[in-house]
């Protein structure tokens, strides 16, 4: 027998000989799979980032694992999906590809003052970019399938739903149904874009369709103030479209640091995006010239495309959760404990379907902790402190830790705020009027850095390093004693020695950038 075959059999055989035992950690009791008479030790519904990670890490601990996923398609539906899930197929990855593509317009403009003589028109071929984007997500879909196959995970195509606490029914693409039993079930079905319920809503698109439009819009209206809305506004404007961005609050990016939100809004306007704060859409109508958009203030705009970027809902409706007694909240998010266990002891859930922190790396962390807890003999809770994230606007915003507002809510002592606003070295030559802004939030009593944020070129790359520092408990003195890399924007984080302001928990934050 070939060595690889022996290893494959050993991986699947091991759980059958494992004696049943219980793990205890802080009063939490977790059953470790012993095989029993079930078809699998673990059955996973959903092969997105969380499902794939949970499958292969569980298999590495010796579990016999199966996973089901819908047939591949760039645009999701009740019967279409694909290995890799939202992030890989219709989210982070294709979005970042379009961000790269749209960034070149500004680069071409900036290049002139660096001596590049660009004569004549510079044409953009949307279909070429779209073709290359689609080829990449098809490739990645195959990569995820190979990862699962190489891990010994059984892949089943179809839509999974619960029959009871230990049985999953998979509806195959041809309509046939097959049932599988498992000691443990992991739900990782993610979330789906939602539409605003207004007259003419069927004329709008979501981020799914926005990543696969056959024609690039010349006039785009976007409803929403979150990261998806801001990113698509930057993408389409960078590709030459006229963009109007409508959102209900005074500033976009609710939940982020207010000072940095102001910076992003200023940059969006500086790039030529028309902002409409405190404004909602009330009706869409098809006309000969395009889609007529009517706002709640009575304004009318004609657009080629209207994008609803108004949030996502947990993808739990078709799972038949009630059959097994799995509890959900009022928006359909699956309720879980600190270990990602649902109200049913052997059913677990990770990722956006639980509506905790809806980021791909967080789903990966939750899935890894699940596998360690259930199959690795290491009860492990996900750690949500100091999770970094980025908004890929142009230029991007990236943050880690607490915003100034959050720090004041949690602080027992005064909060020290250090800021730096400067013209990047590149802009000094290109003459682009767009400042980079950095911010550190510090606890005055412990000197610990509670939060770091940056809006400017390469912000996500820089903040990833800041995240390591915050995770290690770095103090402002640690930052001050660190030698900077010159000339770079990143060195500003270790040279901000002048206090911008000191704020007590009882006072309201102010800005002076």
Active site residues: 486
Report the chain's terminal Cα–Cα distance, integer Å. Answer: 70
Annotated binding site: 96, 160, 189-191, 224-231, 311, 352
Give me the sign of the Cα torsion angle 69, 70, 73, 75: negative
Annotated binding site for NAD(+): 224-231, 311
Q: How many other C-beta atoms can be found within 10 angstroms of the C-beta atom of residue 118?
A: 10
Q: Which residue has the tokens 């657009």?
A: 303
Q: Are 301 and 287 in contact (CB under 8 A)?
A: no
Annotated binding site for FAD: 96, 160, 189-191, 352
Q: Are 448 and 394 in contact (CB under 8 A)?
A: no
Sheet hosting strand 501-503, strand order edge to edge: 389-391, 397-401, 449-455, 436-443, 415-422, 501-503
DSSP string, 136-189: HHHHHHHHHHHHHHHTTPEEEESEEEEEETTEEEEE-TTS-EEEEEEEEEEE--
Apex 477 CA angle, 474 and 482, nearest 5: 80
Sheet hosting strand 219-223, strand order edge to edge: 274-277, 242-247, 219-223, 305-308
Give counts: helices (H), strands (E), the chain. Answer: 13, 24
């Amino acid at each position: 027998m070939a060595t690889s075959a022996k290893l494959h059999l050993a991986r699947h055989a091991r759980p059958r000989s494992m004696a049943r035992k219980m793990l205890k950690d802080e009063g939490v009791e977790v059953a470790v799979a012993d095989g029993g008479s079930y078809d699998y030790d673990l059955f996973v519904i959903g092969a997105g980032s969380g499902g794939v990670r949970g499958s292969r890490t569980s298999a590495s601990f010796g579990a016999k694992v199966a996973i089901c996923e819908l047939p591949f398609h760039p645009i999701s539906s009740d019967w279409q999906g694909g290995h890799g899930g939202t992030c890989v197929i219709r989210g982070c990855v294709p979005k970042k590809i379009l961000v790269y593509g749209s960034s070149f317009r500004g680069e071409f403009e900036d290049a002139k003052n660096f001596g590049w003589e660009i004569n004549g028109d510079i044409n953009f071929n949307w279909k070429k970019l779209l073709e290359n984007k689609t080829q990449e997500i098809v490739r990645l879909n195959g990569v995820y399938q190979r990862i699962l196959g190489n891990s010994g995970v059984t892949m089943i195509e179809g839509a999974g739903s619960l029959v009871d606490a230990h049985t999953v029914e998979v509806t195959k693409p041809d309509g046939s149904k097959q049932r599988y039993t498992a000691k443990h079930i992991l739900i990782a079905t993610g979330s789906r874009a939602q539409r605003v319920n207004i007259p003419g809503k069927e004329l709008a698109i979501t981020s799914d369709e926005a990543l696969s439009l056959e024609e690039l819009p010349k006039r785009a209206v976007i409803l929403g103030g979150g990261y998806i809305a801001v990113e698509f506004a930057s993408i389409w404007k960078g590709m030459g479209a006229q963009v109007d961005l409508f959102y209900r609050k005074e500033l976009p990016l609710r939940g982020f640091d207010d000072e940095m939100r102001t910076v992003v809004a200023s940059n969006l306007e500086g790039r030529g995006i028309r902002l409409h704060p405190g404004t909602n859409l009330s009706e869409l109508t098809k006309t000969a010239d395009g889609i007529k958009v009517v706002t709640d203030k009575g304004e009318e705009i004609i657009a080629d495309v209207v994008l609803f970027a108004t949030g996502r809902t947990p993808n739990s409706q078709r799972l038949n959760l009630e059959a097994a007694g799995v509890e959900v909240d009022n928006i359909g998010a699956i309720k879980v404990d600190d270990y990602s266990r649902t109200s049913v002891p052997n059913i677990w859930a990770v990722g956006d379907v639980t509506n905790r922190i809806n980021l791909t790396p967080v789903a990966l962390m939750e899935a890894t902790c699940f596998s360690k807890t259930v199959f690795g003999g290491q009860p492990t809770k996900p750690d949500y402190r100091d999770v970094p994230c980025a908004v890929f606007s142009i230029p991007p915003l990236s943050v880690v830790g607490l915003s100034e507002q959050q720090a004041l809510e949690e602080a027992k002592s005064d909060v020290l705020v250090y800021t730096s606003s400067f013209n990047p070295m590149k802009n000094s030559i290109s003459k682009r009027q767009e400042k980079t802004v950095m911010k550190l939030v510090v606890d005055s009593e412990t000197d610990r850095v509670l939060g770091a944020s940056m809006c400017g070129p390469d912000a996500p790359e820089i903040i990833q390093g800041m995240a390591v520092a915050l995770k290690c408990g770095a103090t402002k003195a640690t930052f001050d004693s660190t030698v900077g890399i010159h000339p770079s924007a990143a060195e500003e984080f270790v040279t901000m020695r002048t206090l911008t302001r000191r704020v007590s928990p009882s006072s309201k934050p102010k800005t002076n950038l």
